[in-house]
Amino acid sequence: MPTKDQPDGMLDLAVTTQRDSVLPELREMWWETGMRARAQAGPFAVLSELPRLVWAALRVSWRADRVRTLVVAATTVGAGIMSAFGLLAVQRVLVELFAGGPTADKVVAALPALAALAAVTALRAGMATAMGYAQNGLSPKVDQKVERGLFEVTTAVRLEAFDADAFADDMERASRGADSTTGLVQASMNLLAGLAGVLAVAVAVVVIHPLLLPALLVATVPNGWASLRAGHLRYQTYAAGSVRRRRLWLLHRLMAERDSAPELRSYGLRGFLLDQYDRVMGVETGIQLALARRVTTTTTVGAMIGGIATAAVYVLLGLLLIDGQIPLAAAATCVIAVQSAQRSLSVVTFQIDRAYTEGQHFRDYTGFMARAAEYLPQPRTCAGRAATPQRLREITVEAVSLRYPLVVLC
């Protein structure tokens, strides 16, 4: 049944799908867990859970490879610092270029700031390279650490655990969650890098002029919020359409593969399957069009609010220039800072969605590891010390026979 979390305008379509459906429901795939959780969680819920997920990712990364984790952390902080110094160097270059006097003298005066800007840019590029190298080397280490931990548990639990349906299902999801751990770590690292960029811009703006910080927030927050809201709508639609996607996958296999081709023709199923395809795709197309309208509306409203806010910022800069409270170089640097902050914020919003979704699969892994402890054998003691179990050395079989059943031929 449709839920209150489905986007507006999709309830009637979902009901139509269920009423007109002929094919049976299929089992939910493991990777849909994160999608559904993201669809049910609004932006505030995502932001509130994000620190815990990022902290969990950092702990896993630290246990997997401390050196590479430190490299990523250091380069992330360093890149943010270099961004701040880069904006200050740009502001200094503009101060010299906007000063009075001959052009040649202004260029000569700006050379130290230009050299500093070039050095900062080179250092930031080097840090980005070191960060990428460390992240690429960290991913296989995280995979190995997490998967080894899973195997340490699955090879130690009592045999009766494998006969429990809940344990088998949890183990399957945990193995998938182990694969998602790398995605969570990467998303968390990229998210922290994006936040470092935003923070660096904010610090540089405050140093240039404190009044520019509220202007920066007003110009960037609306677009960021609109991006999060649009992502929420996409996840809602994706989660609501899981049954349709599985049905389309089944229809594709029945109509476009060799194994099913003889039965399709022998039983005259062509018209039935094409009718099913038309029904499902008719609903899916309508929902995707509705999603496109809603996402376009959301992003357009966010862009309009952001554009109005940016225009207000420029007006504020003009007033401050006229009033003589800030120099022209500071105003120009603020324009550059707004653009830089918007780019960093777009990275942040994308990585927020990714970290939250991958984090739900990682919770399957950590939940299994906690529940599997109930199936671990209790340590045996002998005279107050842990007893080492003896290995199986001999198997004795007695009175074993093999007999075929009597078959009577007529």
Which amino acid, 205?
V
- pTM greater than 0.85: no
* pLDDT attached to residue 339: 76
Dist CA 117 CA 85 (whole Å): 8
What is the Cα–Cα distance from 217 to 197, expressed in whole angstroms?
Answer: 14
Measured at the alpha carbon of residue 137, what is the angle toward residues 353 and 135, in degrees to the nearest 5?
Answer: 35
Task: Report how far residue 255's alpha carbon sits from residue 259's, in angstroms, rounded to the nearest whole number.
Answer: 10
pLDDT in tens, 66-85: 899 899 888 888 888 888 88
Distance CA 382, CA 230 (A): 62
Strand-pair partners of 382: 385
**Could you give all domains of the chain from N- to C-terminal order, each with its CATH number?**
11-386 (1.20.1560.10)
Block mean pLDDT (10 aa), the chain, length 410? 41 40 49 59 76 89 90 86 81 70 69 81 85 86 88 86 78 78 87 85 79 75 75 66 74 84 85 87 80 79 77 76 76 77 80 81 83 78 60 81 71
Residue 6: its pLDDT value, please?
A: 43
pLDDT for the residue numbered 7: 43
CB atoms within 10 A of CB 146: 25
The residues near 15 (Cβ < 8 Å, ≥ 6 apart) are: 2
Per-residue pLDDT at 386: 56
Long-range contacts of 148-152 (CB under 8 A, 24+ apart): 149/369, 150/174, 150/175, 150/178, 150/365, 150/368, 150/369
